[in-house]
Amino acid sequence: MTPTEARSVIDQIAARMREKFGMACEWHGDSLRFTRPGVKGDIAIGAREILVNAELGLMLSPMKGMIEQEIRRKLDEHFA
């Protein structure tokens, strides 16, 4: 997948994040930063990988495993 194609897929994921979770999303170079109360992070397009970093606030920390599993499922669905 080219970086342009990856960016398009990430844009689709970001639209869903905005719709479902009220996330604010903004591109900074090849990295999409997202935030909302209780979570912030980014999705970066690397040379051969997609890197995801998410910091959960105190209230969402107990759901870390479930959130990580859902992120992996969505990335596998679009990039596997």
Question: Which one has a higher pLDDT value, 74 or 33?
Answer: 33
Phi/psi for 41 (5° steps) reads 175, -165
List the CATH number of the domain containing 45. Answer: 3.30.160
Report how many domains make up the chain.
Answer: 1
Task: Kindly report the pTM of this predicted structure.
Answer: 0.83
**SS3 state at 60:** coil
Question: In terms of Cα–Cα distance, which of 16, 17, 8, 7 is closest to 39?
Answer: 17
> Is 78 exposed, middle or buried, given 0-12, 13-18 or 19+ CB atoms closer than 10 A?
middle
**SS3 state at 46:** coil
Residue 8 belongs to what domain range? 3-79
Q: Per residue in 14-69, pLDDT tens?
A: 998 899 888 999 999 999 999 999 999 999 998 888 999 999 999 988 888 888 88
Please calculate the CA angle 66-10-49 and round it to the nearest 5 degrees: 80
